[in-house]
């Protein structure tokens, strides 16, 4: 199930004070699963609802993600 989606450029500007990470870094995070993102028609979108559920603990987040897809 997909939550609210946000364009990565808007997301990085909303989440970082000062100079945000480069868009290439954000796309890398999307590809690698660091951010809960979906690729739609060649463009990435950040799933804001899934981001809210992230704990910051890599192991806990991977377990929660597995439970979500089961």
Condensed to tens digits (0 to 9), the pLDDT of residues 32-69 reads 988 999 999 999 999 999 888 877 777 777 776 777 66
- pTM for this prediction: 0.76
- Residue (of 42, 37, 58, 45) closest to 10 by Cα position: 45
pLDDT exceeds cutoff 60 at 7: yes
- Residue (of 54, 46, 43) closest to 5 by Cα position: 46
Non-local CB neighbours of 9 within 8 Å, separated by 6+ positions: 23, 26
Q: What is the per-residue pLDDT for 70?
A: 64
Stretch 22-39: mean pLDDT: 94
């Amino acid at each position: 199930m997909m939550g609210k989606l946000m364009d990565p450029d808007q997301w990085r500007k909303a989440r970082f004070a000062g100079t945000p990470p480069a868009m290439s870094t954000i796309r890398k995070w999307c590809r690698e699963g660091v951010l809960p993102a979906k690729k739609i028609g060649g463009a990435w979108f950040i799933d804001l609802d899934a981001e809210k559920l992230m704990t910051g603990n890599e192991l806990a987040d991977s377990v929660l993600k597995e439970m979500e897809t089961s």
